[in-house]
């Protein structure tokens, strides 16, 4: 018998034949089993990676047809930015508003199964409220009748998924700019695939595209969030810092930020030295207290260009190899793995073939100048920051 993880993975792989846009989105998502029996399928947006938590008992208890619908619901929820950009302070009401927003497109399928199992589903009719058009309108309406919502407490697993009183599916929802931008960038790059998705009912695709197109995605914002996500806190004892707990009897602790990140610059000929200087000014502004190591590469890594703990400014110089011998990014990633970096920023024109990444787990940010190649590979392996023409200038 297949495990819950295998059942979910099999359905996601099936999308590669039927719903390619959703399959490509699934490549950006990590699956994680949860021991919380009050969850069914739930998004965790607290880290730089998007995590879909699943309750093994729930997944194994429902037929495959319902699992397909549940996955479609969750992916639509994510694409509509309910768990991130649009989430409200009351997570329970946010989840209910999200469910009711998606009701017209998905709930009939879930309801049909529930009726066969003599189970109930929470609907607008049961709550005694009229139909609302948007997630925000549903939330405001639910907030008005919160007391009535609290009294509705179905007990079955399917209903728990649609009733926030009975589960904690929205527990790990919350604003996360990196996740929001990752989703928005994906929607912009796959608009045609989103519109062609047969799982979405009328209006869902348009709503997804509209909500992710309201604010122009700024590549610098994605890069800034990536750098923040790989910074770690370091505390050092110092007599210059007052110890609030022990007073003058013990030294205090000074907090600094560390960033074990290697910036690799593709110097195969497509990025000018002036653009590099401007870009490193941006890196300097983004890193604040943290520092990064930088090195150049083309078909090999040029260790003579390594700058350790570099703080760049507008007048900084960066040793760039002028060999221009082609593009082989695997040499840069092998170097980063060998020297135990836990995150990398790879600046490249993106013109190379797919390759096998090292086994060492690293957070990856691709900074691509131009259109490049291997879009699926880039999206699958890391965060993608794309500049159509030229690198950004810090202002």
- Looking at residues 148-158, what average pLDDT do you find? 47
Q: Which of 92-101, 145-154, 234-243 has the highest mean pLDDT?
A: 92-101
Phi (first) and psi of residue 35, to 5 degrees: -90, -5
Mean of per-residue pLDDT scores for the chain: 77
What pLDDT band is residue 6 in, cutting at 50, 70 and 90?
A: very high
What pLDDT does 392 receive? 46
**Residue 108, CB half-sphere, CA atoms under 13 Å: how many?**
5
Report CA torsion sign: 13, 19, 21, 22: negative
pLDDT attached to residue 12: 95
What pLDDT is attached to residue 383?
82
pLDDT at 151: 52
**What pLDDT is attached to residue 14?**
94
Round to whole Å and give the CA distance between 296 and 277: 13
Give the integer Cα–Cα distance in Å for 250 and 331: 48
Taking residue 31's Cβ as centre, other Cβ atoms within 10 Å add up to: 14
pLDDT in tens, 96-133: 889 888 876 665 555 555 555 455 566 677 666 777 77
What is the predicted pLDDT for the residue at 292?
78
Give pLDDT, residue 159.
43
| pLDDT on residue 352 | 87
Whether pLDDT at 342 is above 50 = yes
pLDDT in tens, 254-297: 766 677 888 888 887 666 666 666 566 656 655 554 567 888 88
CB 137 within 8 A of CB 100: no
Looking at residue 375, what is its pLDDT?
79
Q: What does the pLDDT read at residue 38? A: 86
Would you say residue 34 has pLDDT above 70? Answer: yes
Residue 57 has pLDDT above 50, yes or no: yes
Cα(184)–Cα(286) distance, integer angstroms: 21
First-last CA distance in the chain:
58
Whether pLDDT at 55 is above 60: yes
In which region does residue 241 sit, left (phi positive, over 0), alpha (psi from -120 to 50) or beta (all else)? beta
CA distances, 33 to each of 3, 5, 51, 381 (Å): 11, 8, 10, 22
Q: Residue 25 pLDDT more than 90?
A: yes
Q: Which residues pair with 385 in a beta bridge?
A: 367
Please, is 348 exposed, middle or buried when counting C-beta atoms within 10 Å of its C-beta (0-12, 13-18, 19+)?
Answer: buried
Residues 178-224: tens digit of each pLDDT? 888 889 889 988 988 998 888 886 678 888 998 887 544 466 666 66
Percent of the chain clearing pLDDT 90 (strictly above): 21
What domains does the chain contain, in order, with CATH numbers?
Answer: 4-211 (no CATH), 219-387 (3.40.50)
């Amino acid at each position: 018998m297949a495990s819950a993880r295998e059942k979910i993975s099999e359905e996601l792989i099936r999308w590669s034949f039927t719903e390619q846009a959703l399959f490509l989105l699934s490549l950006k998502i990590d699956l994680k089993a949860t021991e919380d029996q009050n969850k069914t399928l739930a998004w965790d947006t607290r880290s730089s990676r998007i995590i879909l938590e699943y309750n093994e008992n729930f997944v194994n208890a429902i037929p495959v047809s319902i699992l397909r619908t549940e996955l479609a619901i969750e992916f639509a929820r994510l694409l509509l930015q309910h768990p991130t950009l649009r989430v409200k302070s009351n997570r329970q009401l946010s989840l209910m508003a999200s469910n009711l927003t998606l009701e017209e497109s998905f709930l009939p399928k879930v309801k049909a199964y529930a009726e066969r199992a003599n189970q109930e589903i929470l609907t607008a009719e049961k709550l005694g409220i009229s139909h609302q058009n948007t997630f925000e309108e549903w939330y405001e309406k639910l907030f008005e009748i919160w007391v009535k919502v609290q009294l509705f407490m179905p007990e079955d697993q399917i209903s728990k998924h649609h009733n926030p009183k009975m589960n904690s599916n929205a527990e790990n929802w919350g604003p996360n700019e990196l996740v929001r931008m990752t989703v928005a960038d994906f929607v912009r790059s796959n608009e045609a695939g989103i519109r062609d998705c047969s799982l979405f009912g009328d209006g869902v695709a348009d709503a997804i595209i509209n909500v992710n197109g309201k604010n122009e995605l700024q590549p610098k914002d994605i890069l800034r969030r990536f750098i923040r996500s790989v910074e770690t806190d370091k505390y050092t004892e110092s007599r210059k810092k007052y110890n609030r707990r022990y007073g003058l009897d013990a030294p205090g602790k000074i907090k600094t930020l560390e960033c074990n990140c290697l910036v690799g610059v593709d110097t195969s000929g497509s990025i000018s030295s002036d653009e590099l200087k401007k870009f490193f000014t941006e890196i300097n502004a983004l890193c604040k207290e943290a520092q990064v190591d930088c090195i150049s590469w083309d078909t090999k890594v040029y260790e003579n260009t390594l700058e350790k703990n570099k703080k760049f400014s507008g007048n900084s110089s960066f040793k760039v190899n002028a060999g221009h011998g082609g593009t082989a990014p695997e040499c840069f990633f092998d170097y980063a793995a060998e020297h135990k970096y836990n995150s990398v920023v790879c600046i490249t024109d993106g013109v190379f073939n797919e390759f096998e990444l090292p086994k060492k787990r690293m957070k990856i940010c691709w900074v691509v100048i131009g259109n490049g190649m291997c879009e699926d590979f880039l999206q699958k392996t890391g965060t993608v920051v794309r500049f159509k023409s030229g690198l950004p200038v810090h202002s």
